[in-house]
Amino acid sequence: MFLSDKELEAVMRNFLDESLDLLIGMEDALMQIRENGISTDDVNAVFRAAHTIKGSAGMLKLNHLVEFTHIAENLLDAVRNNKISIDESMITLLLQVKDHMEQLILFYVQNIGQEPDQFLIEKSEQLKVQLQSYMESPIISHSTSKQEPEIEQDLEILQDWYVSIEFDQSIFMIGMDPVNFIRYLSKIGEISNFVLNTQNIPSISNINPEECYISCSFDIDNVGPKEKILEVFEFIQDDIKIQIDPKNRDFQELHSQEELQQEVFDLQVQTAQSSTPVNKTTPTDAEPTVSIASSSTLRVDSDKIDVLINLIGEMVIANANVVQRASVIQDGGLNESVSAVSRMLEEIRESAMKIRMVQIGETFGKFKRIVYDVSAKLNKSIELVINGGDTEMDKTIVEKISDPLIHIVRNAIDHGLENSEQRIAAGKNPKGKLELNAYHDAGTIAIEVIDDGRGLDENKIFAKAVERGIVDENAKLSQREIFNLIFEPGFSTAEAITDLSGRGVGMDVVRRNIESLRGSVEIRSNLGKGSAFILRLPLTLAIIDGFLVKVGSTHYVIPLDMVLECIELSPTFYDDMHGNNYINLRGAILPLLNVREHFSEHGERRSRRDNIVVVQYADTRFGLIVEELHGEFQTVIKPLGKIFRAIKGVSGSTILGTGEVALILDIPTLINHILTLQAKDS
């Protein structure tokens, strides 16, 4: 069967998604083996990933990937059969193998129909030589051909068998492909007299693409005892019925292995092209009904979700206009209907936003490998501790925060944590500690990168900033401001430039990327004890619940999760202020920011009184002086144009039901402004 370019691209995209998931599991299992020692489950997970990818690649005729993965699979098979012991150097090699498999897969997906270039081929050969060196170790009681690596044959009496296999209908749902098992058997024996039973395949209108309907039987010659055949199916022993007898059968229908692969592949493509099987309204005896099994997960292109979120955003804006007009008409029945629609729209909005929410644990999990590689390169012993991996945040934010996090972690390992000798001399545990924490805090997601290393030296940072002309030598800066100097372009206190850090490129990009997500980054440090980088990010970038206020002729939206309370700025408060920008609120000092003054608002004052909206971000709370309170408001975030992006204190805009534009206040930036003013006053 020939596939169109569009169909082949779809098959390759599915192959990419499934393979990347398997490679993530493979890396995680290898890191588990390194941290906790060898376990059967982890070794099997590594083997299963390589085995499944090789089988899928073979079906797609990705020959170089099949050949390379086959060598790795041989080594893993020997490990799981206790013929070779796994050690630190082998784990390092297998991690490199995993990386190279990913490179090969990406090449094939991006260059459909082509074979890898010379660079990838040379890299494959280098890794194959290293893999082969383990296979040729005296520990192994078998020989391997250097020209054509094959699966190891135990020194046992070769026998011939007749095999009959019936696959469970749910075999596809657990990520297994019958063709891969048959292909693997052909490597340890000679398959002939292949019979493919397709009698259980229902009519096309009743086929469920997620179910398997085939069974098969065949001869396999020159193989060891039946246990060797059963080993191939140990991962799915509960999902098949297999019978193995000495060979002495007659056959009515013969198929070659190549024909079987093509038939199963054709069937998979045909069924995959029908995204939703159509059931007959009135089933007949000749056409039995087949119940469609539901899956617990559904893979959906993120672009489709983005379109859905955007449409819901437009609906929110349109609904605000309907609510506005209904309030003018003052019809009881209409108002009740509008309220019902508004409630349902809010539920739809919340449900759609949850689709975009993913756990940050997967991103955190990648740092196990990063810490392993970087610490090995720098000869440092480091323990990585991860907390809050189940914390959820918008997928877009998770993707965009990955690179800044990597840079902060690498800096912590390179500059923050000492080597074992230095730590012992300082009276510390020889093994450094690096923590990654995530948690919800005041309507935001807080991500912490904490190390127990040497900490930041305020004097050294300030001196370097003066040397670079970033600040004047007579400037009076708070500790917070001095620490923030490391985010200035070109700033670095590194004594030597390495390939990891020291060129002064990166931390300014880190802050810029975080602020582009409407987030902030804070540094806390104790010299000699360690440092903490705290990133605070919004839960989502699309739609938020806001609190609508007005100052003069301008509407402003405050993120509702940050609002603590609203109070009237009474004459008593004004008297107590004595011209200062703070009040005594129930025994605590509350700094104030006058929105009219801050944004130079010249619109006419319509309210006789002012109000204070008390907000909190991180550990800081302050009050915004506004004039009118309009209450909760579903806010669709619209980015500002290039002309307005330099405005400090505004993170975006939204459209009200009246068609007016409201500005969304950037609370983190306003807090930094207040803290700067306080530092200058002190």
Query: What are the DSSP calls for 527-576, one per residue?
Result: TTTEEEEEEEEES-SSEEEEEEEEETTEEEEEEGGGEEEEEEE-HHHHHH
Is residue 135 helix, strand or coil? Answer: helix
* Angle in degrees, CA 484, 490, 495, rounded to 5: 90
Domain match, 596 and 497 both: no
* Phi/psi of residue 437, nearest 5 degrees: -125, 145
Residue 283 lies in a domain: no
Output the pLDDT for position 682: 60
Place of tokens 């739609």: 543
Q: How far is CA 577 from the centre of its chain?
A: 49
Res 526: pLDDT? 93
For residues 80 and 180, state if they share a domain.
Answer: no
Alpha-carbon distance of 58 to 66, in angstroms, equals 6
Q: What is the pLDDT of residue 495?
A: 58
Closest CA to 208 of 179, 170, 177: 170
Which pLDDT belongs to residue 273? 45
Q: What is the pLDDT of residue 557?
A: 94
Q: Would you say 590 and 671 are in contact if contact means Cβ atoms under 8 Å apart?
A: no
C-alpha span between 678 and 507 (Å, rounded): 26
Residues 408 and 526 in one domain: yes
Residue 140, in any domain of the structure: no
Tokens of 651: 């993170």
Asked whether residue 439 is assigned to any structural domain, the reply reads yes
The per-residue pLDDT for 384 is 92
**Residue ranges of the chain with per-residue pLDDT less than 70:** 1-3, 136-157, 174-175, 235, 248-298, 493-505, 645, 679-682
566 and 610 housed in the same domain: yes
Q: Which of 358, 387, 405 is the last residue of a domain?
A: 358
Question: How many structural domains are present in the chain?
Answer: 5
In three-state form (DSSP H/G/I as H, E/B as E, the rest C), the secondary structure along 397-440 is HHHHHHHHHHHHHHHHHHHHCCCHHHHHHCCCCCCEEEEEEEEE
What's the per-residue H, E or C state across 356-390? HEEECHHHHHHHHHHHHHHHHHHCCCEEEEEECCC
Same domain, 390 and 402: yes
Phi and psi angles of residue 625, each rounded to the nearest 5 degrees, phi first? -85, 115
- φ and ψ of 133, to 5 deg: -65, -35
Same-domain status, 609 and 657: yes
Strands 661-665, 554-559: pairing is parallel
Distance between CA atoms of residues 26 and 300, nearest Å: 23
Mean pLDDT of the chain: 81
Structure tokens at 112: 């459909």
Q: Domain for residue 39, yes or no?
A: yes
Alpha carbon of 106 to those of 117, 229, 532, 575: distances in Å? Answer: 13, 33, 36, 68
pLDDT in tens, 179-235: 878 877 887 788 888 888 888 888 888 888 888 888 999 988 888 788 888 878 876
Domain match, 94 and 120 both: yes
Decide which of 538, 553, 586 is a domain's last residue: 538
* Judgement on whether residues 184 and 330 belong to the same structural domain of the protein: no
The per-residue pLDDT for 141 is 32
Q: What are φ and ψ of residue 449, in 5° steps? A: -120, 110
| Structural contact between residues 659 and 628, judged by C-beta atoms closer than 8 angstroms | no
Task: Cite the DSSP H helix spans in 37-87.
Answer: 40-59, 63-80
Residue 527 shares a structural domain with residue 635 = no
User: What is the C-alpha separation between 92 and 619, in angstroms, rounded?
Assistant: 42
Same domain (yes/no): 336, 258? no
Domain around 77:
5-135
Separation CA 231–CA 237 (nearest Å): 9
Specify if 593 maps to a domain.
yes
Given 332, 358, 384, the domain boundary residue is 358
Distance between CA atoms of residues 445 and 494, nearest Å:
31
Compute the distance between CA of residue 159 and CA of residue 155 in angstroms, rounded to an integer. Answer: 12
* pTM passes above 0.75: no
Is residue 279 in a domain? no
> Which CATH number covers residue 69?
1.20.120.160
149 in any annotated domain: no
Report the alpha-carbon distance of residue 414 to residue 301 in Å, rounded. 38
d(CA 517, CA 397): 7
Residue 96 lies in a domain: yes
Comparing CA positions, the residue from 21, 178, 12, 173 lying closest to residue 98 is 21
In this structure, are 92 and 104 located in the same domain?
A: yes
Cα 381 to chain centroid distance, Å, stands at 27
Each residue's pLDDT tens digit, 130-154: 988 887 643 333 333 333 334 344 4
Q: Which helix (H) or strand (E) holds 220?
A: strand 215-223
User: What does residue 619 show for φ and ψ, rounded to 5 degrees?
Assistant: -100, 10
CATH code of 434's domain: 3.30.565.10
**Cβ neighbourhood burial of 422 (10 Å; 0-12, 13-18, 19+):** middle
What the block records as the tokens of 637 is 């975030």
Q: Say whether both 609 and 661 belong to one domain.
A: yes
3-state SS class at 100: helix
Q: Which residues contact 231 (CB under 8 A, 6 or more apart)?
A: none
